[in-house]
Amino acid sequence: EISLGLVGSEMCIRDRLCRESSQEVVTEIIEVLTKLVTTVDAAHNQHTVHAPSPSSADPPSATDQSAYINTEFLLQDAVTVEKLLSLLQEKDKLWLRLNAVQLLRTLADNRPEMVGASVLDIEAGMMRLVDVLKDQREEVRNELLLLLVCLTKHNEQAREL
């Protein structure tokens, strides 16, 4: 029930993200999407890189289940990941770039295999991510390194690149 409302809202937000051109609006949309896919555990510890363990003794909370459903919804369509990768090309826009990397990292924390497959399916997807390492701003590089660690940990093809 919780996720149904979020998925409906997320569909409108995702579509707006792909059409919007204002940097401020796009940044706000990315922040909302990040909140919709953030698990309770990730909200408490933002520097932990892990995927949910299927053999975990505790079932995921309703919030976590919603975050996973919303993550899967966002990743169903390669357009979302493509848009986020294209936003990484905005080198002079710190908050836009940082928020795009943070959303990708949150998605990868929840469903690393899906994000890895999406990035690898997009032309030069991994190279676009690696190019962000040239950013002089430490916060952007750190977030990207966390994303790359997660992707390479869960995807053989990403490790090879």
Span 3-34, pLDDT tens digits = 445 555 556 666 677 776 788 888 998 999 99
Q: What is the per-residue pLDDT for 9?
A: 57
Q: What is the mean pLDDT of residues 101-129?
A: 94
Q: pTM here?
A: 0.80
Phi/psi for 158 (5° steps) reads: -65, -35
Q: What is the mean pLDDT of residues 121-132?
A: 92
Q: How confident is the model at residue 50 (pLDDT cuts 50, 70, 90)?
A: very low
Q: Please say whether the beta carbons of 102 and 110 come within 8 A.
A: no
Q: What is the mean pLDDT of residues 63-86?
A: 90
Q: How confident is the model at residue 45 (pLDDT cuts 50, 70, 90)?
A: low
The Cα-based distances of 129 to 64, 75, 122 in angstroms read 27, 17, 11
In this structure, the chain runs to a length of 161
